[in-house]
Amino acid sequence: MGLDWAQRAMALTSVADLSSPPAVSRLAIALAISGRLDEGLALLDEAMSPETADSPNATKHTLCRGRLRLIDDDLPGARADLIEVVASLLGSSRSAALALGRLSLIEFLTGQWDLAITHAEQGLAACVDRTDYAQITALRAPAVLVLAARGAWQEADNHLHAMRLESGEIALPTTYTAFAGARLAAEKGDPAAVVAALAPAWRCARGAPSTSRASGPGRTSMPTPSSTSVSSTRPTRS
């Protein structure tokens, strides 16, 4: 269904003869999550021609391509795109926070853990909408992964607790939280806790209601200040 609506939006902008329309990015993402990642990347490459370099949507397309390259395991390409996006955006914005969150994950995956923490902190600071729970949990998740791998379990637990407060019963942040919690439990060597941490994600996948007591999207309660810093005291990897 998402792909169908994205294709309709693209058709409408094509009729309007818009150059490098925003619908390109939406269609590219819809193609990717429908199992047609190569088509999504090709669509973006076509839209990001030299003629459209100054388009108002150029940064959105670069951000989208960075996300898809990450899915495609092209970490160097994804990093290059996301760094370009961060450099082009000044101040706080959803796009800046999104780019920094994906950069944080890339740095974790490539072993640059100090950079991963830095990008997560910068992303949390740039996230202007504190009720954008999918965004906030996506930023906290790499921090949990780094802190858990370093054995800074209390700091990781603080972030995980914050993620649970922020996820409510929304599928995407619930999945981020479940994954982060499972990784933390695995680092602690607790298989039963790994299974328990993943349970909310399974419920979301099956369409069952969550039994979590986390705050819902309408609540404005936020985690305590101690969970907003992601700096680790155990810098065992750069």
Q: What is the pLDDT of residue 228?
A: 44
Is 6's pLDDT higher than 70?
no
What integer best gives the mean pLDDT of the chain? 79
Region 62-82: mean pLDDT is: 94
For the stretch 130-166, what's the b/e string if a residue is b when 16 or more beta carbons lie within 10 angstroms of its beta carbon? Answer: eebbbbbbbbbbbbbbbbbbbebeebbbbbbbbbbbb
* Cβ partners under 8 Å of residue 49, min gap 6: none
Of residues 80 and 93, which shows the higher confidence score?
Answer: 80
Beta-carbon contacts of residue 77 (< 8 Å; ≥ 6 apart) = 66, 69
CA atoms within 13 A on the CB side of 31: 22
Question: Residue 231: pLDDT band by 50, 70, 90 thresholds?
Answer: very low
Contact of 237 with 111, CB cutoff 8 Å: yes
> Of residues 231 and 85, which shows the higher confidence score?
85
Is the pLDDT at 125 greater than 80? The verdict is yes
Structure tokens at 181: 């919690």
- Name the percent of the chain lying above pLDDT 70: 74
Q: What are the backbone dihedrals phi and psi of residue 48, each rounded to the nearest 5 degrees, phi first?
A: -95, 50
The predicted structure's pLDDT at residue 129: 75
Task: Specify the pLDDT at position 5.
Answer: 57
Q: In angstroms, rounded to a whole number, what is the distance separating the alpha carbons of residues 174 and 156?
A: 17
* Residue 93 burial (CB count, 10 A): 14
Q: What tokens were used for 57?
A: 């949507």
pTM of the model: 0.77
Query: Which residue from 112, 52, 115, 62 is spatially nearest to 87, judged by alpha carbons?
Result: 62
Q: How far apart are CA 37 and CA 166, in angstroms?
A: 30
Q: Which two tokens stand for residue 155?
A: 């700091």
Q: Name the least confident of 4-13, 69-78, 100-109, 119-128.
A: 4-13
Tens of pLDDT, residues 199-225: 998 888 777 544 433 333 333 333 333
> What percentage of residues in the chain have a pLDDT greater than 90?
43
Q: Are 97 and 139 in contact (CB under 8 A)?
A: yes
How many angstroms separate the CA atoms of 163 and 196, rounded? 16
Q: Tokens 């970490």 — which residue? A: 75
Query: 63 and 78 in contact (C-beta within 8 Å)?
Result: no
What type of residue sits at position 185? A
Q: What is the pLDDT of residue 88?
A: 86
